[in-house]
Homo-oligomer: A and B are copies of this chain.
Amino acid sequence: MTNNLKKLKQVLAKEGLRFTCQREEVWKEILSSGEHRDADEIYHSLREKGISVSRATVYRTIDVLVKYNMVRKLDVGVGPSKFEHKIDISHHDHIICMKCGKIEEFVVNQIENLQERVAEQYSFKLVRHIHQLFGICKDCQ
Q: Give A contacts to B, CB under 8 Å.
A: 75, 77, 95, 97-98, 104, 106, 108, 110-111, 114-115, 117-119, 121-138, 141
List, in ascending order, chain B residues with CB within 8 A of A135's CB.
Answer: 119, 124-128
Copies of this chain, complex-wide, total 2
Alpha-carbon gap, A136 to B122, bound state (A): 10
Alpha-carbon distance between A123 and B127 when the two chains are bound, in angstroms: 31
Q: Can you list 15 residue pairs at the A/B interface with Cβ under 8 Å?
A: A75-B75, A77-B130, A97-B124, A104-B122, A108-B114, A111-B111, A118-B133, A119-B135, A124-B133, A124-B138, A127-B135, A129-B131, A129-B132, A130-B131, A130-B134
Q: Is the Cβ of B110 less than 8 Å from the Cβ of A137? A: no
